[in-house]
Amino acid sequence: MSAPLRVYLVDDEPLAVERLEWLLRESPGIEVAGSTTDPEMAIHFLNGQPVDALFLDIQMPGINGFELLARLKEQPSVIFTTAYDQYALKAFEVNSIDYLLKPVDPEQLRRALGKLERLRGGPKPEWRALIEELALKLRAPQADYPDRIASRVGERVYFVELASVTHFFAKDKLTYAVADGRSYAVDYSIAELERRLDPKRFLRIHRAVLLSVAWIGQVHSHFGGQMTVGLKDTKQTQLPVARDRARALKERLGLH
């Protein structure tokens, strides 16, 4: 019987770490060597106690996932747990076993662990030069905003065109993009989307709602200063506007 696979988890979101660690501890043949939300702590641990595989988020404050890898003495196999689609294909080249979209689906995790076990003990490609290149690119200011966003549905990762997204909303600790009458789970908080997407195209109108300006059909003012936005979608969706966001919406639309 082979020894358990020793894995380590790094993600700046505590709930993501907690969920994934629970799933891994329920998986046979897996030993969770540790987990952290602090990339510096992860580097210190991994340089002292190498593991078989690393579950790693790419987008983290302070040190991103590629920078973390570049500072390790020995290369682990990597399973990325993020939806930073701009770097998804590159991530696979960096000795990545798989790419999991958060929130991690148990079936997708089982598939990734099976692949990891099959490749265990095999040759590991040289990755340091590519890692350092990606770390720099991730740090550099991005001149272009993305035109699409990733979402996993079942066994597939779909790339949703942002032009068709009417709005994003947060519910039950998850974030969804609404397009063509469907809701797609995405791996970003509303705050992250607000920073990542073109501010000329998307405007936050509520702590839990990021709106595509192009899809605004009507704006309604109600008694007591309340506002709602009516979208030009087939459902004629109505979205509430938070009081502290109303002024920004009016300025964007040229309302007085």
Range of the domain at 116: 5-139
Q: Which of 32-36, 46-50, 132-136 has the lowest mean pLDDT?
A: 132-136
Could you read off the pLDDT of 165-174 as tens digits, one per residue? 999 999 998 9
- State residue 91's pLDDT score: 52
Contacting residues for 247 by C-beta, under 8 A, at least 6 apart: none
Q: Which of 69-73, 91-95, 195-199, 250-254 has the lowest mean pLDDT?
A: 91-95
Q: What is the CATH number of the domain that holds 85?
A: 3.40.50.2300
Could you read off the pLDDT of 208-231 as tens digits, one per residue? 999 999 999 999 988 777 899 999
Instruction: Locate 52 and state its tokens.
Output: 């078989």
- State residue 125's pLDDT score: 53
Higher-confidence residue of 91 and 121: namely: 121
Q: How many folded domains does the chain comprise?
A: 2
Could you read off the pLDDT of 108-162 as tens digits, one per residue? 888 888 888 887 766 665 566 656 666 666 665 554 688 899 997 777 788 999 9
- State residue 65's pLDDT score: 84
- State residue 241's pLDDT score: 93
In a domain, 10, yes or no: yes
Average pLDDT over residues 78-94: 60
Residues 135 and 12 in one domain: yes
Contacting residues for 58 by C-beta, under 8 A, at least 6 apart: 64, 65, 66, 80, 82, 84, 87, 91, 138
Residues 9 and 135 in one domain: yes
Looking at the predicted structure, is the pLDDT value of residue 19 above 60?
yes
Residue 30 and residue 76 in contact, taking contact as beta carbons nearer than 8 Å: no
Alpha-carbon distances of 140 from 12, 191, 224, rounded to whole Å: 20, 20, 45
In a domain, 144, yes or no: no
In a domain, 71, yes or no: yes
Contacting residues for 82 by C-beta, under 8 A, at least 6 apart: 57, 58, 59, 65, 101, 102, 187
Average pLDDT of the chain is 83
Could you read off the pLDDT of 3-17 as tens digits, one per residue? 889 999 999 888 888
- State residue 238's pLDDT score: 95
Residues 164 and 209 in one domain: yes
Looking at the predicted structure, is the pLDDT value of residue 89 above 70?
no
